[in-house]
Structure 1
Amino acid sequence: MAFWILTGALTLVMAGFLALVLLRNKNGSGEPAAAYDLRVYRQQLKDLDRDVARGIVTAADAERLRTEISRRILAADAQVQAAETGAPQPNGPSRVTAAVMALVVVGGTAALYWQIGAPGYGDFGLDHRIALAEERARTRPGQQEAEARLPTSPTPEIDPNYQRLVEELRTATADRPDDARGQQLLARHEARLGNFKAAYEANARYIALQEGDVDPQLLIDQAELHVMAAGGYVSPEAEALLLRALSQQPEDGRARYYMGLLMGQVGRPDRGFQIWAETLRQGPPGAPWIRAIQAQIPEMATLAGVDYRPITPGGTADGAPALPGPSAEQMAAMQDLSAEDRQQMIEGMVSGLATRLAEEGGSPAEWARLITALGVLGRIEQAREIYAEAQTQFAGNDAALEMLAAARDRMEASQ
C-alpha cells in the first residue's frame, strides 16, 4: 500500500507541475509580454518620424504606417491595462492541453507499470523473502513431477547397430538385475541416448549393489542424471544426493556447481553466488563446472545485487586456493607511511577482505586470515562473529574447521 501511495503522489505532483507551466497566467510575476510590444511600437513611431525627416519614407506611406502602428499600440496598451488590473488572459487551449497532459502522465504511468511491473505484489522485506525462499525450497516439485512437466522431446536419430546393442544390454540386465557391471554400462549408454530417466534408474541399481561406502562421485553422477532428466531443475531427490556427496567431499566442484544452481532456483541467488565464487577460486581452470559457472555467474550476481568482477579460476602449485594479500607496491608504500596512516591502510585492507568474503565467500584460509587480522586490530567481538559465520560456511569440512579453530585461538591469544 505504501508503494501505491508514494507512486500516486509522485505522479500527481509531476502532472501538477506540467499543468502549472501551461496554465501559468502571464500576470503572475514580472511584466506582461504586451509591455515589451508597447515599447517596440513606440520606438517604431520615433524611427518613422526620423525616416520621414531624412526622406527615406514618403508622407503618404508614413501616414499609413503611423495608423497601423498606432492601432497596435492601442491593442498592446489594452493588454497591459488588463494585466495590471488582474483580468485573466484567455487560456482555454492551455486548460485543455494541461488536462490532456495530466491524463497522459497518470494513465501512461499506470499502463507502463501494468505491463512491466508486478501488480498485486506485496512489500517484502529481506527476512520475509528469505522465509519465502525456504518455503519454496521445502514445497518445490519432486523429481517425478518435474519430469512430467517437461514437453516431449523429439526422438534423436540413432545408428541402428548401436540401438540394437543397447536393446540387447537392456534385455541382459533385466535377466541379471544383480550384475553391477551390466547396470553401470546400461546407465552410461542410456545417458548417451538421452534417456536420462532410464539412466538414473540403472545407476540407482548399480549404487544399491555397491558394498561399503559409496563413492561420492557415483552420488554426484546420479544427481547429475536427475538434473538432466528434469531439464536442468535440481529436485529434492538430486539435492539429497548432492548433500550426501558433499558431506564426504565438501570441495567437489561439480557438486558445488549444482548446489549453487539450486540456490538460484529457490530464490537465494546470494547464497548461489557465494558458492559459485568460492568454486571458481578453487579451480581448476578449464574444468567443465568452471566453464558452466563462468557462463552463468554474471546473471546470478545481478540477481544477488552484487557488483560482479570476473574471478580468475586457479590455485597454487600444491592445489590449495591462492590466498590474495598486499601487493609488493602496497608493502613498499606502507614503509613510507606514518603509524596512523599505516593503521588506516591496514584497516582498509581488512575491511575489503571482510566485504569480499561476505559477498562472494572464500577459502578457509581467507576466513582464517580475516579472523586473525581482526584479533590483531583488537576487534575481538567482530572476529568471534566472523568465526561463527565461517563455522556455518564450512560445516562438515574437518580440515577447514581445524584451520578456523587455530585462527580463533590466535585471535583469543591476541587480547
Structure 2
Amino acid sequence: MMFWLICGATALIVTGVLVLPLLRRDGATTGREADLSVYRDQLATLDAEVARGAVAQEEADATRIELSRRLIVAGAQIERRGAMVPVTLNRWAIGATMLTVLLLGTGAYVLLGSPGQPDAPLAQRIVAAEAMREATQRPPQSFVEALHAAQSPAPELSERDADLIAQLAAVVAARPTDLEGRRLLARSYMQLGKYLEGKTIQAEVVALAGETASADDLAALAEFMIVAAGGYVSPEAEAVLERALSVAPDDPWARYYLGRARAQTGDIDAARSILAELAGDDATPAYLRDAARNDLTMFTGPDAQDIDAAAQLDAEAQREMVEGMVGGLAQRLNTEGGTPAEWARLIRSYDVLGQDADADAAHAKARAIFAQDPAALTVLGDRE
C-alpha cells in the first residue's frame, strides 16, 4: 500500500510541475495591465495639475491625447493576448497533461515493473546487500591465478610427456567440436601440473556444450579453476559450482567445493553443515570423505594473507601488486640468474598478465642461457 501511495504522490508532483506554467498569467499581459493603471492615474491627476497652474492648458491637452492613445493600444494588446490562449483551451491542456502523466506512468509500470511482487522484508534486503558487498570485495579469478602463477614454479615435464601432450593438443585443435578429446586434454594438463592450460580447455568443453553441459563437466571446470587459483574459490568458480548444483543437487564434488567457498567467505556454519553431510554420507567417495573430515577441523586456503590484502584493493591496484611481484622475480633472474623452473615461472606469469612480448623475450633469454642443457630446455618448452 505504501508503494502505491508513494507512486501517487510522485505522479501528482510531476503533474503539478507540468501544469504550473498553464496556471500562471502571461507576463506580458500582466505588464500591460500595470501600464493601464499608470495611464489612468496620470489622466486622473492631469486636471488637478492644470488647476494649480503646474501644467499649461495646451500642454495638458497634448498629454491627455497621448495618454488616451496609449490606453487604447495597451487595452488592445491585452485583448489580443487573451484571445490567443482562451481559458477553455488552458483547462483542456491541464486535463490532458494530468491524464498523460497518470496513464503513461501506470501503463509503463504494469508493462515493465512487477505489480504483483511482494515487499522484500528488511532482513532479506540486508542479507542481499551484504552478499553483494562481499562479492565485490573478493578478488576475481584472473587476479588470483596470476598471483599463484607468480609464486609457483612451473611444472617440470619429461621429454616424453611434453611430446605426448603436444601431440594431443594438436589433434584436439584440429577437431573444433571434439568434446571427449578436450576432456582428455584438460585432465592430462591437470595431471602434469599445467593447471591454467587444463582450466582453459575445460572451459572450452563447457562452452561447446552450452546449456546441455553436464554436472560432471561443470564440477570439473570449477575444480580446475580452484586448483589454478591455488585452492581459492573465486566468485566466478562459485558461480560455476552453483550452476553444477542446479543440474545435479547431490553432486559431491560441487558440494565439497561450495563448502570450501563458504569457509573462505567466513560463513563457517554453512561450510561445516555442507562438509559434515559429505563426511557422513556413505555415497560420498572415500577420498572425498577424508578431505571433508580434514576440512572440518581446519579450513585452509592458499595465500590467505595475500588474498585478504588484495580484497581491499581495486582492480588496478591488484594488477599493480602482481606486476610488482613479477617484476621483482624478473629483476632477480636477470641480475643473479636462476633455475629453469624459475625462468618458466616468470614466462608463465607474463602469459597470465597478457604481456606476450615480455614472455617471448624471457623465453628466448632463458633458452640462450640453458642452450647446452637438454633437461632445462624441456622445462622451458617451446612457445607457439
TM-score between the two structures when normalised by the length of structure 1: 0.39
Using CA pairs below 8 Å that are at least 6 residues apart, which structure has the higher relative contact order? 2
TM-score between the two structures when normalised by the length of structure 2: 0.41
Between Structure 1 and Structure 2, which shows a larger proportion of helix residues?
2
